[in-house]
Structure 1
Amino acid sequence: MSNNIQDAIEQEREQVRATCDTSGKDSPECAAAWDALEELQAEASHQKSNQKTKNSLEKYCDDNPDADECRIYDD
């Protein structure tokens, strides 16, 4: 996951605190700020889940593309 989205989440979190301190915890502005933060966190989670981790065979084949185990046959 990129550091940019983590930085954005941290900045948004600070903004939420400031907005809620100014407008009040029960204000529409505070609720909207929390919604924006939750959307950013959901996007970060989505990006993280889309990162495919390679299994040991895939890693081996990356290092040894000519190995018999790594052959790909076309039908």
Structure 2
Amino acid sequence: LNKSDFVEKPKSLLLERRIEVAIEEARSICAEKGVTSKECAAAWDIVEELQAEAAHQKAERLEKTAFDIYCEDNPEAAEARSYDV
């Protein structure tokens, strides 16, 4: 972290750090509680919300969020299933 980076982009740098921490926490929770647990789903919801906010601030769409990658890696998780209604 350079001083000039923080002065120019403090919000985005802090948000990126929050995303990193949230991903670590989500992985830890899922490892402890199981990939199909409500706690795991809630942890990945937090990651997804933070990444969406970061993308919104950058005014661009992420190709894949950490949650998308999680769903690909854990297709048995309820959150990974999508249903057409």
The amino acid of 2:57's aligned partner reads Q
For the aligned residue pairs, the C-alpha RMSD in angstroms reads 1.5
1:28 matched to 2:43? no
- SS of the counterpart of 1:18? helix
1:46 matched to 2:56? yes
Deviation of the 1:23 alpha carbon: 0.4
What 5-or-longer segments of structure 1 have no aligned partner? Answer: 51-75
Moved over 2 A (4+): none
Equivalent residues, number: 50
How high is the sequence identity, in percent, across the aligned residues?
50
TM-score, scaled relative to structure 2: 0.56
What 5-or-longer segments of structure 2 have no aligned partner? Answer: 1-8, 61-85
TM-score, scaled relative to structure 1: 0.63
Computing the radius of gyration over CA atoms, which structure comes out larger, 1 or 2?
1
| Match 2:23 to one of 13, 22, 25 | 13
Higher relative contact order (CA 8 A, sep 6+): 1
